[in-house]
Amino acid sequence: MRPLLPRLLAAAAALAVLSACAPMPAGPAEFSAGRTRVVLPSSAWEDLGSFDDALAALPPPASLPLQTRAVALRGARNEVLAVMLVQSHQRSDPRDRTLWTASCAQEQGLWVRDAAAGSPVRVDCLRFKRWAHSSDRFLDKANPGLVRWIGERGVALTQPYSHVNYRYATEGGAYIEVNALVDLRLLKLPAGNTPDYLRAGLPAEAWSQQMARAARVSVGMLDGFLAVPPFPAALPQ
């Protein structure tokens, strides 16, 4: 009789492969961004459209076709509570070895996590700015194109908000980037006492990591399934 442990390990490996290949069920709201299925946790999200772009890659003259999908979450008074842009590569076919030059540098006032440790063939960069609306004009400097696009579409947030940026890319040419502006009320605990106040930033950081994990996992899914995690707080009334 064959030993039990090797058979169990083989079965677990086969199950993992099947899980990555099996299509995931649809969510309350779903839109495509390149090869990625952007599945949102609530039907309150609305589609703001998509547009195509290309990203220069190394070695030249390589370029990576991308598509960006934009969505927005509105509140009870039709105010914008969140805007999210998901940019993804459009084809799943493997590419030649791709090198990435974008950095994931530490920056004062930002929570930065570089899981790729500066690798030239992989990007895994999470950047979180809790007070992105502050007077230092952070977003105008960090992503002027995003600021301009939001202004043109009339979907600017009127309440204090955070900014999450996550980029993930592989040597084989897979690429996904998420930009999210989120009303702070959706990302924090009520500050009723000192311990609550001290913990207020933790849900925001946790959500940004959940968002990054979902984007990273989507690259390995056959259907590009990206399940956007729900916010830690309920929609303000």
pLDDT tens per residue, range 195-217: 554 555 588 999 999 999 999 99
**pLDDT at position 15 over 70:** no
Domains contained in the chain, number: 1
Task: Say what the pTM is.
Answer: 0.83
* Cβ(86)–Cβ(226) below 8 Å: yes
> Could you give the C-alpha distances from 101 to 63, 121, 143, 183, 216, in angstroms and in order?
13, 9, 17, 31, 19
Domain assignment of residue 42, yes or no: yes
* Cβ(37)–Cβ(225) below 8 Å: yes
* Average confidence score pLDDT of the chain: 83
> Among 123-132, 162-171, 190-199, which stretch is predicted with the lowest mean pLDDT?
190-199
Domain assignment of residue 4, yes or no: no
pLDDT tens per residue, range 66-115: 999 999 999 999 999 999 999 999 876 556 667 776 778 888 889 999 99
Domain assignment of residue 31, yes or no: yes
Domain assignment of residue 210, yes or no: yes
Domain assignment of residue 51, yes or no: yes
Provide the residue range defining the domain that includes 57: 26-227
Domain assignment of residue 107, yes or no: yes
Residue 219 — very low, low, confident or very high, per pLDDT cuts 50/70/90?
very high
Rounded-to-integer distance, Cα 144 and Cα 166, Å: 17
Query: Which DSSP string corresponds to 89-140?
Result: ES--S--S--B--------TT-EEEETTTT-SS-EEEEEEESSTTSTT-HHH
Average pLDDT over residues 6-17: 44
Phi and psi at residue 185, to the nearest 5°? -65, -20
Q: What is the pLDDT of residue 92?
A: 63
Domain assignment of residue 195, yes or no: yes
Domain assignment of residue 15, yes or no: no
